[in-house]
């Protein structure tokens, strides 16, 4: 049983590492595209809780957060339009480190140049890991801008095989969906053809009766 648990833990760790490596590749590719075509893009957005202080009273407040290529923006709730200004903006250049925190179950810490840390809490361990990886990658790109042709994290042979399996799985799903649609169309065609044959037979019978009369 212990061996099975260790094997499962190792497999989970490998999956998480693979997920973050793919996420970093995607962000770097998007950043490279943005650099050539437009000034900014959104890499992550969603609802997180932020540790706020007011007169030495601490409270975790729900906020809508958006991560782009330059800053992290905060709104009290999801903005109704792109023109709605955020209530707070933190430049990625001000962030010196990103690390998990023990203040809450799924919280993490952004260390700032000012010395005042920023604590955020996600809804799950996976969400926290994704946010931390995205912020760390964007911060790294701000301090070390990517080239038009970035050096992407290389995948191992096993990860490349996994990526190919995922691609094949997506293609097989699309083929299956197209097959289902084709069978549905053929069913409708056969159904309509049967109706036409029944009407034609009935018409022939009616014509025969008319001739007999």
Percent of the chain at pLDDT exceeding 70? 69
Mean pLDDT over the full length of the chain: 78
What's the burial of 159, exposed, middle or buried (CB within 10 Å: 0-12/13-18/19+)?
middle
In angstroms, the CA 192 to CA 199 distance is 11
| 87-110 average pLDDT score | 92
pLDDT (average), residues 90-105? 92
Per-residue model confidence (pLDDT) at position 106: 93
Q: Rounded distance, CA 107 to CA 12, Å?
A: 20
- The predicted structure's pLDDT at residue 192: 87
> What's the CA angle centered on 71, arms 80 and 74, to 5 degrees?
40
Q: Is the pTM above the cut of 0.75? A: no
Taking a C-beta distance cutoff of 8 angstroms, is the pair 64, 77 a contact? yes
The per-residue pLDDT for 1 is 47
Q: Is the pLDDT of residue 6 over 70?
A: no
Residues 194 and 202: their CA atoms lie apart, in Å, by 12
């Amino acid at each position: 049983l212990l061996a099975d648990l260790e094997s499962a833990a190792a497999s989970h760790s490998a999956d998480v590492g693979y997920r973050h490596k793919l996420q970093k590749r995607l962000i770097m590719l998007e950043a490279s595209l943005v650099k050539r075509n437009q000034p900014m893009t959104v890499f992550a957005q969603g609802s997180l809780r932020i540790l706020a202080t007011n007169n030495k009273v601490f409270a975790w407040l729900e906020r809508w957060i958006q991560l782009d290529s330059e800053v992290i923006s905060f709104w009290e709730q999801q903005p109704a339009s792109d023109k709605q200004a955020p209530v707070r903006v933190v430049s990625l250049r001000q962030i010196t480190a990103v690390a998990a925190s023990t203040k809450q179950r799924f919280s993490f810490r952004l260390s700032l140049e000012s010395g005042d840390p920023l604590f955020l809490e996600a809804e799950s361990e996976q969400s926290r890991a994704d946010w931390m990886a995205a912020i760390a990658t964007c911060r790294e790109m701000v301090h070390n801008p990517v080239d038009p042709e970035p050096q992407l994290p290389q995948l191992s042979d096993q990860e490349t095989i996994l990526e190919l399996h995922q691609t094949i799985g997506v293609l097989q799903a699309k083929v299956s969906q197209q097959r289902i649609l084709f069978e549905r169309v053929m069913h409708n065609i056969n159904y309509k053809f049967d109706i036409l044959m029944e009407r034609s037979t009935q018409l022939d019978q009616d014509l025969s009766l008319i001739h007999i009369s």
